[in-house]
Amino acid sequence: MCGIVGIIGKKQVTSEILNSLKKLEYRGYDSAGIATLNNGEINEVKCEGRVDVLEKNLLKLDTSGNIGIGHVRWATHGAPSNVNAHPHSSNEVSVVHNGIIENSTLLKKDLIKKGYNFKSQTDTEVIVYLVSEYLKKYKIKDAVMKMLSNLQGSYALGMIFKDYPNLIIGARRGSPLAVGYGPGENYLGSDSYALKSMTNKISYLNDGEFCILNNDQVEFFDEQGSKINKKILTLSSDEKNYDKGDYKHFMAKEIDEQPNVINNCVNEYIDKINNDINIFNFPWNEKDIRNITLIGCGTAYHSCLVAKYWLEELTDFEISVDIASEFRYRKNKFKNETLYIFLSQSGETADTFAALDLCKKNNMKTCAIVNVIESSIAREANFVLPTHCGPEIGVASTKAFLGQMLVLYILTLKLSFLTKNIEQKLYKEKIKDLKNLHNKVKNTLLLENKINSVANVFSDAKGCMFLGRGTSFPIALEGALKLKELSYIHAEGYPAGEMKHGPLALIEDGMPVIVLAPRDNYYKKTISNMQEVIARGAKVLLITNKSEDDVFSENIWETIEVETANNDLLPFLLTIPLQKLAYFSALKKGYDIDKPRNLAKSVTVE
Ligand code: M6R
């Protein structure tokens, strides 16, 4: 999704902006641009396509200057093109914007009447002319505040001004924005990752705030224009995670990192000496909680669905699961005894943030399970449980999904124990099993060659289905999502028992169907459902776990056996072949695995 960089210093800034834009490429984008200010003139260079193209264009044009802004755009208003790429500039001001200005059509009409000529189809251009208009009457700070007061929707903004060569202004509502501090220079970024190569000293803007950056100081203001103080945070260094190492793709690396991710997370949450779960400072008494609502989007939503089965099995809480973009606009019945848990890898997903914000405004108990601990969602929630996965760069979420499930499972066990729904002996056994999970994942990853060989069938398919029951149903949804987003093949995840209520009509000779049938309580039922699709011509890849018992079914095309574990842990193991399958299918098709078309890593618009 769109990314912002701004630098003000004493030396030339173009190449540093370009480097930071390269860091933001992982977010997914379709065009890029830079504007600098030099000798009282704004120089703007932009292009459709990748930052490499921008870099080539920059060689031909002059963009010197010690103050500048840069942007990678993920199209919302107006197709990806040179003219719609950011920055957008007038003679007076140049603007980069993340988010969506919802009243842009109305504002545009007004500005056209005032004589402004719009060049692009973007919503952002209204910001340029609005602020240019106010600059005719007001000084810079007031002009910006007037402009901001006209905007409805969401924005993170970076702006430079022809007549103010010593400052960059940033503003935030709904879309994240960070400020970085360096020696003799200061930075603006849509996330701390964009700034990491330059500084580890960061502050974050909250909604409604804006900031003025000079090369030697940064001032922050609230919506009314009063000065405010900001904490400066020091970021940890995890540079090695931003490198592909010997891997061809981040996704392949991130899949293979999963045994370590599990080990790290288990080490963070499990007290190995007492064989107990450490969740310190849980701010509520479990007796005050009767319901739990889990909320997320995409893959994070799937982890919520898996957790519903665990929580229902191991606790007495009423559990509901919601897609953030639906939750935020529904008429919700907020109850004091509900705990709302928000799942998000990035911690910046606009819909999830809005759902959290709504719960906060209704004084609900809110807990965030995030991978990025400096993120907006982490900062907003009452309580945070980090997944400790390290940065996930591939747009398709893999290790973060396992991390989300792991933290949800650990929380489930803890709540189960605290509410006396599990006996101490079983609780301790389950913790012991958790401590060995990383080895089971490691061994399951060894199935790579077999998965690679079956992937041909899937990469050639027009469409395919993923079936499962119990916790394997959300894993089927996740498997289908991974195949869709990477291989652009139509894939559906379905509860195996639902096929006869309609989707069986889709099955035709040779259609690939992946059946997840681990040896859990649903096993026999799922095998019967599998026979129904085989009888109608489906080419079935059965994924189960190792067992001494043979599978009693004929005409299965291929079988993959993951490691075996207690039933609760099977979702972790079943996920591995599905991730690899999506990876190899996309690899065979030659697609851009880390940056699939039309998608973004951090979805900061609704
Ligand atoms: O950062 P989040 O976990 O909040 O992101 C939610 C979804 O956008 C994300 O999981 C998306 O579905 C992934 N691309 C799936 O691989």
* Separation CA 412–CA 338 (nearest Å): 15
Amino acid letter, 393: I
In three-state secondary structure terms, 371 is coil
Mean pLDDT of 566-589: 97
Q: Which domains does the chain have, with CATH numbers?
A: 3-234 (3.60.20.10), 242-435 (3.40.50.10490), 453-606 (3.40.50.10490)
The whole-number pLDDT of residue 460 equals 82
> Do the beta carbons of residue 427 and residue 417 sit within 8 Å?
yes
Residue 394 CA to ligand 1 center (angstroms) comes to 11
Clarify whether 2 is annotated catalytic. yes
CB-ligand 1 contact for 395 (6 Å cutoff): yes
538-542 LR contacts (CB < 8 Å, sep 24+): 538/465, 538/507, 538/511, 538/512, 538/513, 539/457, 539/510, 539/511, 539/512, 539/513, 540/513, 540/514, 540/515, 541/454, 541/457, 541/512, 541/513, 541/514, 541/515, 542/515, 542/517
Pocket test for ligand 1, best of 255, 397, 599, 605 (most atoms within 8 A of CB): 397
Q: Establish whether residue 352 lines the binding site of ligand 1, counting it when its CB lies within 6 angstroms of any ligand atom.
A: yes
pLDDT the model gives residue 542: 97
Mean pLDDT of 268-274: 85
Q: Which of 196, 365, 580, 601 is catalytic?
A: 601
The contacts of residue 414 (CB under 8 Å, 6+ apart) are 277, 279, 282
Confidence of residue 237 (pLDDT cuts 50, 70, 90): low
* pLDDT surpasses 80 at 552: no
pLDDT at residue 159 tops 70:
yes
Residue 66 pLDDT level (bands cut at 50, 70, 90): very high
Q: Which helix (H) or strand (E) holds 135?
A: helix 125-135
Enclosing H/E stretch for 192? helix 192-195
- State residue 244's pLDDT score: 86
Cβ of 297 closer than 6 Å to ligand 1, yes or no, is yes
Question: In degrees, to the nearest 5, what angle opens at C-alpha 519 toward C-alphas 269 and 564?
Answer: 45
DSSP bridge pairs for 71: 4, 33
24 compared with 440, residue with greater pLDDT: 440
Which residue from 26, 299, 348, 583 has its CB within 8 A of the most atoms of ligand 1, so it is best to mutate? 299
Task: Kindly name the residue from 2, 47, 265, 297 that is annotated as catalytic.
Answer: 2
- Checking if the pLDDT of 241 tops 70, the result is no
Q: What percent of the chain is modeled with pLDDT above 70?
A: 98
Q: How far apart are the CA of 117 and the centre of ligand 1, in A?
A: 38
Per-residue model confidence as pLDDT tens digits over 89-146: 999 999 999 988 999 999 999 999 999 999 999 999 999 999 999 999 999 999 999 9
CA of 265 to the centre of ligand 1 (A): 20
Q: What is the dihedral of CA 346, 350, 355, 360, to 10 degrees?
A: 80
Q: Which residue has the higher pLDDT, 422 or 550?
A: 422
In three-state secondary structure terms, 229 is: coil
Q: Which atom of ligand 1 is nearest to the CA of 601?
A: 14
Query: Distance from the CA of 343 to the center of ligand 1, in angstroms?
Result: 10
What confidence tens digit (pLDDT) does each residue in 30-63 have? 899 999 999 889 999 999 988 989 998 888 777 7
Q: What pLDDT was estimated at residue 97?
A: 96
Which atom of ligand 1 is least distant from the CA of 349? 4
Mean per-residue pLDDT for 292-297?
Answer: 98
* CB environment 129-166: b (16+ within 10 A), e (fewer): bbbbbbbeeeebeebbbbbbebbebbbbbbbbbbebee
* CA nearest ligand 1 atom 7, residue: 298
Q: Is 468 helix (H, G, I), strand (E, B) or coil?
A: strand
Beta bridge partner(s), residue 296: 323
Residue 599 CA to ligand 1 center (angstroms) comes to: 10
Residue 150's nearest CA partner among 164, 135, 130, 166 is 130
In 123-209, where do the E strands start and end?
A: 155-161, 164-173, 178-182, 185-189, 201-204
Q: Ligand 1 within 6 A of 351 CB?
A: no
Across all residues in the chain, what is the average pLDDT? 92
Sheet holding 512-516, edge to edge: 490-495, 463-468, 512-516, 539-545, 558-562
pLDDT tens per residue, range 449-498 = 999 999 988 888 889 999 999 999 999 999 999 999 999 999 999 999 99
| Predicted confidence (pLDDT) at residue 279 exceeds the cutoff of 70 | yes
Contacts of 340 (CB under 8 A, 6+ apart): 292, 293, 295, 355, 356, 359, 364, 365, 366, 367
304 is catalytic: no
What's phi and psi for 566, nearest 5 deg?
Answer: -65, 155
Residues 6 or more apart in contact with residue 12 via CB below 8 angstroms: 64, 65, 66
* pLDDT of res. 321: 98
Atom of ligand 1 minimally distant from the CA of 396 = 16
Would you place residue 25 in the very low, low, confident or very high pLDDT band (cuts 50, 70, 90)? confident
* For range 151-166, the mean pLDDT: 95
Rounded distance from Cα 301 to ligand 1 centre (Å): 8
Q: What pLDDT score was predicted for residue 240?
A: 52
Q: Is the CB of 346 under 6 A from ligand 1?
A: yes
Spacing, Cα 299 to ligand 1 middle (Å): 5
Q: What is the pLDDT of residue 216?
A: 94
Nearest-atom number in ligand 1 for the CA of 377 is 4
pLDDT of residue 238: 62
